[in-house]
Structure 1
Amino acid sequence: MLEEDAELSGNISLASFGEVLGIASTNVSAYSNGNDSYISKEYYNLYGIFMGMKWQCVEYARRWLFIRKGCVFGSIEGAADMWSELAHVQRVINGQCFPLTTHPNGSPYPPRNESLLIYSRSSPDMPYGPVAVIVDVGLNFVRVAEENFNFYYWSDNYARQIPFVIKNGSYFIEDDYHIYGWMSIEDGNQLKPYIIAGLSTGCLIVFNVNCNVLTQSRRDPTITIANSTKPIQ
């Protein structure tokens, strides 16, 4: 997708499925999905933790949070559902929950770095609605890292730069597609980059609605979703 408002950080050379588009936040690689209509139905685990479907936008958001914050969130049908269905993220090492605050586009509060930018569904282009990670906030723009939105190599440590404006004291991120807003983690700076040595790799973290940790064998982590008619992310 090419938009008039957002500015790409790279060139217009397309990357094939699985190629690295760029690296954000020091060490979080973004991979190409090839095109936005492709659904691989391949599920990716990192150190035994379920990240999502290769290489969808939800996978990137979850992996970014895991690597940079040591937390993850539960499975959802699509990125747009995060806005209404996710209330917490969960720290991997001890299961502690941290609330997510939603800031609708047009909020009196400015966009916050390291927040999740959530778009609504928009048929036929975006039937699930993308999510991106805000990795930089300027005076009148945000920069985001993401997968499965564009498929071009980045020239910097972000995928796109998107402008925002202030109208009557409210902040609006302006893009060609409808934005619900951004979701910020209220963690009091407790969440830190994950220390791999502290991870037990023998289980997969799953969640129930109360944000409690359950475990299941990682022998076949997709067993409950492999036969689903809808891609679970």
Structure 2
Amino acid sequence: MKEYFPALLFQRTFFAALLILYTVTVFAETKDIPTICQTDCKTPYGQVLGKDKSGVAGYSNCNSDCVIFEPNKHDGTYTGIKWQCVEYARRWLLVNKGVVYGDVDYAIDIWDKIEHYRNVQWDEKVPVTNHVNGSETAPKSGDLLIYAKMMFGGTGHVAVITEVDEKKGVVRVAEQNNLNQQWPSTHSREISLIKNGNQYWLLDGYLIGWKRADI
């Protein structure tokens, strides 16, 4: 029995050291997160909420009041402040379309201040168009849904249309910092789509319309 004691002691010491290292790491990471980003969280800050069909992950921002000015990058390209709605939309466009839009203070600014996207590979301008909710242009995958200032105390919101199901009469969107809940599938939520005459309507409060890149 004695000949196994050193090995057992080493094993216990090793696992104890691992536990201490894990505790210190978690404490350090938590300490860097402001209290507001640890309070009334729907899900813990930084937790993966889901991925759309292209594999772009959405992360929890805890709640809509949480802001940590930590930039995020994808393959060296700046995508925005973690884990804001503006960051997700820009990252989704980068991954799926190879384009990004410029800096904005708030999500609502994407509607009237962004006049073009930029092709990252060629550093060229990509034309964009705005289509108000109820327009004759049907929404499609890749469009950005822009919401009015009344959402989130004046900042608005942006989500990405990832699927359009005309048969079911819905569009599916991916986003960050809205519900901050686990996604039910490869989308964060569904929005009803109806056609009235030649007009297309998405039945979602405060929605201004959709922004489309000419790609």
Q: Under a length normalisation based on structure 2, what TM-score does the superposition of the two structures give? A: 0.77
Name the counterpart of 1:110. Answer: 138
Mapped to 2, the partners of 1:45 and 1:114 lie a distance apart of 20
RCO (CA 8 Å, sep 6+): is it higher in 1 or 2?
Answer: 1
- Structure of greater Rg: 2
Amino acid at match of 1:41: F
Unpaired segments ≥5 residues, structure 2: 1-40
Deviation at 1:67, TM superposition (A): 1.0
Name the counterpart of 1:92. Answer: 120
Q: Is the 8 A contact 2:133 2:209 kept in 1?
A: yes
Q: Is the 8 A contact 2:54 2:96 kept in 1?
A: no
Question: Structure 1 residue 171 and structure 2 residue 200: aligned?
Answer: yes
Number of aligned residues? 173
Mapped to 2, the partners of 1:174 and 1:42 lie a distance apart of 34
Deviation at 1:112, TM superposition (A): 1.2
Q: Where in structure 2 are the equivalents of 1:1-233 lying within 5 Å?
A: 14-122=42-150, 125-139=152-166, 140-175=169-204, 177-187=205-215
Mapped to 1, the partners of 2:212 and 2:53 lie a distance apart of 17
Mapped to 1, the partners of 2:199 and 2:154 lie a distance apart of 28
Deviation readout 1:137-188 (Å, 9 max, x if unpaired) = 112211100000011111210001000222232111111x21110011111x
Amino acid at match of 2:155: Y
Mapped to 1, the partners of 2:128 and 2:173 lie a distance apart of 18
Q: CA RMSD in A?
A: 1.4
Amino acid at match of 2:78: F
Mapped to 2, the partners of 1:127 and 1:147 lie a distance apart of 17
Deviation readout 1:67-100 (Å, 9 max, x if unpaired) = 1111111100111111101111111111111111
| Greater share of helix | 2
Sequence identity, in percent?
Answer: 36
Name the counterpart of 1:206. Answer: none
Name the SS of the counterpart of 1:79 in structure 2.
Answer: coil
Deviation readout 1:30-62 (Å, 9 max, x if unpaired) = 000000111111111222211111100000000
Mapped to 2, the partners of 1:70 and 1:43 lie a distance apart of 19
Mapped to 1, the partners of 2:211 and 2:181 lie a distance apart of 26
Unpaired segments ≥5 residues, structure 1: 1-12, 188-233
Mapped to 2, the partners of 1:49 and 1:110 lie a distance apart of 31
Name the SS of the counterpart of 2:89 in structure 1.
Answer: helix
Amino acid at match of 1:154: W
Name the SS of the counterpart of 1:63 in structure 2.
Answer: helix
Name the SS of the counterpart of 2:66 in structure 1.
Answer: coil
Q: Under a length normalisation based on structure 1, what TM-score does the superposition of the two structures give? A: 0.71
Name the SS of the counterpart of 2:87 in structure 1.
Answer: helix
Q: Is the 8 A contact 2:42 2:63 kept in 1?
A: no
Name the SS of the counterpart of 2:141 in structure 1.
Answer: coil
